[in-house]
Amino acid sequence: MPQPRPTAAPPRKTSWRARRSGRGVLAACAVAVAAAAPAAWAEDSPSADDGVTTSYGFSNFGALKYPADFAHLDYVNPDAPKGGEISIWAQGTFDSFNQYARAGVPAALNTIGSETIMTSTADDPYGLYCYLCTTLEYPKDLSWVIFNLRDDVTFQDGTPVTAEDVAFTHKLFLEQGIVEYRSLVEAYFSPVEVLGPHRIKFTFTDAAPMRDRVGLAGGTPVFSKAWFEATGARLDKSTKTPFMSTGAYMLDSFDYNRRVVYKRNPDFWGKDIPFNVGRNNFDRIRVEYFADSSAAFEGFKSGAYTFRNESSSQTWATGYDFPGVQQGYVKREEIPDGNVGTHLSWVFNLDREKWQDVRVRKAVEMMFNFAWSNRTLFYGFYQQPDSFWPGTDLAATGTPDAAETALLQPLVDEGLLAPEILTEEVASPPEQDPATNRPSRRIMRAAAQLLDEAGWTTGEDGVRRKDGQALDLVIIQRDPLYDRAINPFIENLGNLGIQGRLERVDTAQYVERRRSGNFDLANQAFDMSFEPSGGLEQWFGSKTADDSSRNLMRLRNPAVDKLIDKVVAADTLDGLKSGVHALDRVLRSVHFDIPLWYNDKAWVAYYDIYRHPEALPPLSVGELDWWWFDPAAEDRLKAAGALR
């Protein structure tokens, strides 16, 4: 199902469920599940008659971590108390509760109440488990899947969930979902059949990627058909309330552009099932809105909200010396992040003619000095993400091995790739001098030569021109947080004869300009998964280049398209890794982005009124999920004047 439209927030750690949903073509919502493939099962899970397997879960590579009769997830406190409030921040404004529409700016956490037929866990990178279903059935060829839905699931208004609601929601996304989703997925399904009140069948066409099939169907969120019909709401229009869903949290109150509050549903259908033991512990989740990250940090210091995911290395290094920290009222933690690292970049708009020459893009890329930025601006906290799968064994390294070569050689033979891809080291950002922002003379000469070869020559005024047009570059940004990295980069561009300029825009303009392609460089955070599949089409495929929330660079590359097909078709883990290595290598050779930085840790700060299990899972911090509230600690902080 379609991934929610980005809201251009500062780079923060993506929800583990949203991140993992990249395995499928697209996630349905913030709690979406991933695509999967023909399974290696837990020994006691499946039964098979007449070639049809019935099971409680599905996995691609390896057995499911949890058995059918597990009591609770390993990483939760099953005795965690319920109660209290946790509050976080969001940037900008909001005027809608519909994450899926182009119109409007959606409120933070607007999909918090959405649930899907199947779910995943934060400690099993490949497993899918029945959640709104009891079992699933499928044949060996995965030409269809049947879900036997639970008969005790209710929407937040107390009405029962049936297979009709599932079929309605599926049809809703196919008819009203964003174009980038429909263009990929509408050809994957034959009509969905309701076989009974709690039994539904998804039949797939031959076009549907094999490893995505169960995940695409199981990732379907469930909205109330009756609610949509009664309200007249549409998926492609902004809404004043969230869609009627089944989840543990529902909208409590909101004040446009200031705050939104969600409350725990006391009648939540799933509060006692094993998947939810020790979870959904807060009575309320409050989101406070701020114009920018600086204002938000001041708000945190004053106690306007109580939990902060820190995204600024400067603030993390120097900002936490206020009295609340000094007196022990505010805690700080660095928590290892086991996800694929987020590849934060500035991406070129390849629809603009001046950026269609790879020599020009490479020259511009050389002007960003990460080594100096990291030492001088970021306190050495970051790493530069040369790969789109940084920090994992999916990243391409060195020269191609035999398995990669077997994938790349036919593309060279077809003339889609230069022969050098088979013999040269994988492309990486140039090594820079950390002692000074200005690139070395060697790098400056190399960049100048590339521009000269591309026809952009320097005039008497020091500005590079081609056919009378100056080479200018506009970076759009909405948060001053990035100025300290952008301004030195612009200075280096000027030394090369490129007229760089930063344009500050508000949230609505930022979203619209990214969508419409009104930029030269724009931020993009590439969140890949451990099991990439059909979702790669949205990130990098030619099919989505005209209108995509992910393929902002408008990449249209036949070699990339063919390699995506190879990755999607991989049916072994070794085959998947080889395909991703080859794809990563080719993506990096195109130089459509300027890799910035990534962090392999989550930085969190919070008022000392929350507790969490001692051992957190590798794929999520889970502060809104399996942390809990300590009322006695809150009383102490209020008595000390540390909290309002």
| Six-digit token string for 393 | 């064994």
CA 592/CA 554 separation, integer angstroms: 9
Tell whether 76 and 196 lie within a shared domain.
yes
Q: Count of domains in the chain?
A: 3
**588 and 625 share one domain:** no
For residue 481, the model assigns a pLDDT of 78
Beta bridge partners of 138: 53
> Tokens for 160?
């029962």
Pair of tokens at residue 384: 């530069």
Give the pLDDT means over successive 10-residue stretches in the chain (644 positions): 31 40 34 31 46 93 92 98 98 94 92 97 94 97 97 98 97 87 83 96 93 92 97 95 98 96 97 98 98 94 97 94 97 95 96 98 98 95 96 96 98 98 97 96 97 97 96 93 92 98 91 92 95 92 89 97 96 95 98 96 97 95 98 97 90
Choosing from 231, 263, 298, the residue where a domain stops is 231
Return the bridge partners of 201, or none.
Answer: 146, 193
User: HSE on the CB side for 614, CA within 13 Å?
Assistant: 0
Q: Same structural domain for residues 478 and 611?
A: no
Q: Does a structural domain hold residue 87? A: no
Inter-CA distances, 226 with 167, 246, 536, Å: 13, 13, 34
CATH of the domain at 327: 3.40.190.10
**Within 306-438, where are the H helices?**
313-314, 323-326, 358-365, 370-372, 402-413
Sheet arrangement for strand 343-348: 499-504, 472-477, 521-526, 343-348, 593-595
485, 478 in Cβ contact below 8 A?
no
How far is C-alpha 73 from the chain's CA centre?
23
Q: Is residue 635 in a domain?
A: yes
Residue 39 lies in a domain: yes
- Which neighbouring-strand residues pair with 58? 128
**Which residues are paired to 473 by β-bridges?**
500
Pairing of strands 593-595, 628-629: unpaired
Q: Which two tokens stand for residue 398?
A: 């060195």
Same domain for 312 and 192: no
Instruction: Give domain status of residue 96, yes or no.
Output: no
pLDDT of residue 265: 97
In the three-class reduction of DSSP (H, G, I as helix; E, B as strand; rest coil), residue 216 is classed as helix
Amino acid (one-letter) located at 393: D
For residues 452 and 532, state if they share a domain. yes
Whether 293 contacts 301, CB under 8 Å: no
pLDDT of residue 220: 85
Q: Identify whether 243 is part of a domain.
A: no
Evaluate whether 455 touches 466 at the Cβ level (below 8 Å): yes
Position 86 in a domain: no
Is the whole-model pTM more than 0.85? no
Residue that terminates a domain, selected from 178, 202, 231:
231
What is d(CA 202, CA 248) in angstroms, rounded to the nearest whole number? 27
In the prediction, which pLDDT does 47 show? 55
Residues 499, 434 share a domain: yes
303 and 322 fall within a common domain: yes
CATH code, domain with 447: 3.10.105.10
In angstroms, the CA 427 to CA 586 distance is: 9
Are the CB atoms for 51 and 139 separated by under 8 Å?
A: yes
Question: How far apart are alpha carbons 580 and 566 in whole angstroms?
Answer: 9
Strands (E), 84-212: 85-91, 118-121, 124-130, 133-139, 144-149, 193-196, 199-203
471 & 438 share domain: yes
Range of the domain at 178: 16-80+109-231
Residue 427 and residue 534 in one domain: yes
What confidence score (pLDDT) does residue 20 get? 40
| Pair (178, 206) in one structural domain | yes
The neighbouring-strand residues paired with 259 are 255, 288
Q: Which of 383, 374, 373, 381 is nearest to 316 (CA)?
A: 381
The distance from CA 45 to its chain's CA centroid, rounded to whole angstroms, is 31
Asked whether residue 1 is assigned to any structural domain, the reply reads: no
- Residue 45: the pLDDT is 42
First to last CA, the chain: 41
Q: In terms of domains, do 620 and 500 share one?
A: no
Domain assignment of residue 99, yes or no = no
| Closest to 343 measured CA to CA, from 111, 598, 136, 145 | 598
User: Which of helix, strand or coil describes residue 523?
Assistant: strand
pLDDT value, residue 310:
96
Task: Give me the helices (H) in 462-602, please.
Answer: 483-496, 507-516, 536-540, 558-569, 573-590
Nearest to 147 by CA among 211, 196, 113: 196
Residue type for position 87: S
Residues 513 and 609 in one domain: no
